[in-house]
């Protein structure tokens, strides 16, 4: 049986990758460290994308003051949705709703702040295209990050950007097992794949690339998180 | 290498299960159709839990009117958060924020409405305990359902209830790879596992049970979705 049709999905953490720094070619490093198959999904944390793309702000001295960090958050945002103490929930320039505009000091050298990639769909597309050029294999790429959720405690990994995979599985027109049109028709495939990848990681969080294998072949197509997943402001009931 | 420590997670759809009806023993049917290992996570859709627990409302005649369905939604809810046209976002009696109080007519016979399980943590615990009693194997159980999200299009599967696994991985006190305390410390493991399970399913959605294997052994403990995942009203910034 074709493993893609047998209902088995496997996520594999790639161990032993080096620290990434500005200008490093993610695609080249990934293919040097693992064997890829057609229709693999490569899930890359946004942290290393930000590092290689230079989306890092280095503090001029011992580190940032809380006021300086707040100013960076506001600069990365187009709208503040909620604020409680040090926590600010904003809509980023890229349209993501998250805490502190996604800026992050974990797994970073002292005095450095990591911003979200400027255009995560483009980052995903570049990695996908480079892999295709290097080894001739069609993979999908997802740029992942860890986000909180309304109404539920705990964070999960979601997709910031994608290439080569349909972010939403559009089942409109599909019938359920009783022949009735399906109601919950639009499944956020790329977010579920990002969550799956996270489950393979050790608690220290130092695994930046995970391969997810066995995704239904019908999901592989062009598409972008920005165009399909981000809910426009006017459509949203909670902004 | 111990597969639990190698960073490989596998999700396997169980094919060929019968239609579930009121009173059917889910645990017994699952073990008749697959081989389970210690530390497997069994992800069961809330739909079949509702069916076996009799959480079905049958229309007296040809079906429900929209007004009758609305009255059922309100009866299942303790608070209406938003309403737009036919869509109502409520907080259910059990504390979940979702569309239409989670009631569902897909994959159901004509004129029948499926309500959410009354106590999904208890449902999970019963299945887990029964498997332990029948074959002596310690598994975790997650009751899953498909929910929409604020700010992002598309639905994902999340956990309504769980048993034998910590819903939240509490990393407070853990250090990142640079020795700095981790910020995003509480990962909603059970929601990520529910999402992973969903990825194995064919588009018709008729796979009610999926096994997820390879989850870090440290996640297996007592715990409940109700106690750990549902964010209390007063703590929430978006109600």
Of residues A97, A89, A6, A19, the one with CA closest to residue A52:
A19
Q: How far apart are CA B21 and CA B41, in angstroms?
A: 23
User: What local confidence, expressed as pLDDT, does residue A176 receive?
Assistant: 63
Of residues A222, A200, A231, A215, the one with CA closest to residue A45:
A200
pLDDT band at A65, cuts 50/70/90?
confident
> What's domain B56-115's superfamily in CATH?
CofE-like domain (3.90.1660.10)
User: What local confidence, expressed as pLDDT, does residue B38 receive?
Assistant: 97
Of residues A95, A56, A50, A97, the one with CA closest to residue A208:
A50
User: What local confidence, expressed as pLDDT, does residue B171 receive?
Assistant: 65
**Mean pLDDT throughout B73-92?**
93
pLDDT higher than 60, residue A4: no
Helices B26-33 and B120-135: angle between axes, nearest 10 degrees: 50
Cα angle B62-B64-B69, degrees, rounded to a multiple of 5:
170
* Chain A residue closest in CA terms to B153: A229
- Contact (CB, 8 A) for B225 and B160: yes
Backbone region of residue B19 per phi and psi (left: phi > 0; alpha: psi in -120 to 50; beta: other values): beta
Distance of CA A187 to the CA centre of its chain: 16
Q: A78 vs chain B: nearest CA distance in angstroms?
A: 15
Per cent of chain A over pLDDT 90 is: 75
Torsion sign across C-alpha atoms A97, A100, A102, A106: negative
Q: How far apart are CA B99 and CA B150, in angstroms?
A: 11
**Mean pLDDT throughout B144-169?**
96
Of residues A88, A96, A56, the one with CA closest to residue A71:
A88
A99-144 pLDDT, tens digit per residue, is: 999 998 776 777 889 999 999 999 999 999 999 999 999 999 999 9
Per cent of chain A over pLDDT 70 is: 90
Cβ contact B150–A237 (<8 Å): yes
User: What local confidence, expressed as pLDDT, does residue A106 receive?
Assistant: 74
Q: Taking all residues of chain B, what is their mean pLDDT, rounded to a whole number?
A: 90
List Cβ neighbours of A46 (8 Å cut-off, separation of 6 or more). A102, A116, A117, A120, A143, A144, A145, A160
Chain B environment of A9 (Cβ under 8 Å): 10-11, 196, 199-200
pLDDT higher than 90, residue B172: no
Measure CB to CB from residue B106 to each of A107, A182, A231 and give the nearest one: A182
User: What local confidence, expressed as pLDDT, does residue A184 receive?
Assistant: 54
Tokens, residue B133: 């009693």
Cβ contact A106–B182 (<8 Å): yes
User: What local confidence, expressed as pLDDT, does residue B174 receive?
Assistant: 67
Per cent of chain B over pLDDT 70 is: 90
Residue A159 dihedral angles phi and psi, to the nearest 5°: -95, 125
pLDDT higher than 50, residue B153: yes
pLDDT higher than 70, residue A171: no
**Mean pLDDT throughout B193-208?**
88
pLDDT band at B11, cuts 50/70/90?
very high
Q: How far apart are CA B102 and CA B92, in angstroms?
A: 8
DSSP letter string over A126-177?
A: HHHHHHHHHH----EEEEEEEE--SSB-SBEEEEEEEESS-SEEE-TT-B-T
A72-91 pLDDT, tens digit per residue, is: 999 999 999 999 888 899 99
User: What local confidence, expressed as pLDDT, does residue B2 receive?
Assistant: 41
Tokens, residue B76: 């299942």
User: What local confidence, expressed as pLDDT, does residue A235 receive?
Assistant: 85
Q: How far apart are CA A200 and CA A198, in angstroms?
A: 5
Q: Taking all residues of chain A, what is their mean pLDDT, rounded to a whole number?
A: 90
User: What local confidence, expressed as pLDDT, does residue B181 receive?
Assistant: 62
Chain B environment of A198 (Cβ under 8 Å): 187, 192
Label the pairing between strands A41-45 and A140-147.
parallel
Helices A189-198 and B189-198: angle between axes, nearest 10 degrees: 130
pLDDT higher than 50, residue B3: no
Cβ contact B153–A198 (<8 Å): no
| The domain over range A56-116 is classified in CATH as 3.90.1660.10 | yes
Q: A195 vs chain B: nearest CA distance in angstroms?
A: 5
User: What local confidence, expressed as pLDDT, does residue B214 receive?
Assistant: 97
Tokens, residue B208: 């009610």
Q: Is A76 helix (H, G, I), strand (E, B) or coil?
A: coil
User: What local confidence, expressed as pLDDT, does residue B24 receive?
Assistant: 98
Q: Do the two domains A3-53+117-230 and A56-116 of this chain adopt the same fold?
A: no
Q: Could you identify the residue written with the tokens 């999905």?
A: A9
**A219 beta partners:** none
**B88 beta partners:** B83
Measure CB to CB from residue A236 to each of B13, B151, B239 and give the nearest one: B151
A180-201 pLDDT, tens digit per residue, is: 666 557 999 999 999 999 999 9
Q: How far apart are CA B187 and CA A224, in angstroms?
A: 26
Q: Is B193 helix (H, G, I), strand (E, B) or coil?
A: helix
DSSP letter string over B9-66?
A: EEEEE---PPPP-TT--HHHHHHHHS---TT-EEEEEHHHHHHHTT-EEE-SSS---H
The count of C-alpha atoms lying within 13 angstroms of the C-alpha of A83, restricted to the half-sphere facing its C-beta, is: 7
Predicted ipTM? 0.93
* Chain A residue closest in CA terms to B201: A7
User: What local confidence, expressed as pLDDT, does residue B63 receive?
Assistant: 81
Torsion sign across C-alpha atoms B28, B33, B37, B40: negative
- Contact (CB, 8 A) for B15 and A7: yes
Rg (CA), chain A: 19
Residue A209 dihedral angles phi and psi, to the nearest 5°: -135, 130
CATH code assigned to A3-53+117-230: 3.30.1330.100
Give the helix ranges, DSSP H, for B34-110.
Answer: 46-52, 66-75
Measure CB to CB from residue B13 to each of A7, A195, A231 and give the nearest one: A7
**Mean pLDDT throughout B209-233?**
95
> What's domain B1-53+117-230's superfamily in CATH?
CofE-like (3.30.1330.100)
Tokens, residue A16: 């032993």
User: What local confidence, expressed as pLDDT, does residue A39 receive?
Assistant: 97
Q: What is the residue extent of each domain of chain B?
A: 1-53+117-230, 56-115
């Amino acid at each position: 049986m074709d493993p893609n049709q047998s209902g088995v999905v496997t996520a594999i953490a790639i161990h032993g990758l080096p620290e990434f720094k500005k200008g490093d070619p993610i695609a080249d490093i990934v293919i040097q460290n693992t064997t890829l198959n057609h229709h693999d999904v490569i899930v890359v944390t946004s942290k290393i994308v930000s590092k290689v793309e230079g989306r890092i702000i280095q503090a001029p001295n011992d580190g940032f003051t809380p006021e300086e960090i707040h100013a960076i958050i506001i600069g990365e945002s187009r709208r503040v949705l909620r604020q409680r103490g040090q926590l600010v929930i904003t809509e980023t320039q890229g349209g993501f709703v998250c805490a502190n505009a996604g800026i992050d000091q974990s797994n970073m050298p002292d005095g450095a702040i990591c911003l979200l990639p400027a255009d995560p769909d483009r980052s995903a597309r570049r990695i996908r295209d480079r892999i295709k050029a290097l080894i001739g294999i069609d993979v999908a790429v997802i740029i992942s990050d860890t986000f909180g959720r309304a109404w539920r405690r705990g964070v999960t990994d979601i997709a910031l950007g994608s290439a080569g995979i349909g972010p939403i599985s559009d089942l409109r027109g599909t019938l359920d097992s009783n022949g009735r049109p399906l109601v919950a028709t639009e499944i956020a495939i790329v977010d579920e794949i990002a969550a799956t990848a996270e489950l393979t990681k050790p608690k220290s969080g130092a695994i930046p690339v995970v391969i997810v294998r066995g995704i239904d072949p019908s999901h592989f197509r062009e598409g972008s998180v920005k165009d399909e997943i981000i809910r426009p402001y006017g459509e949203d009931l909670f902004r």
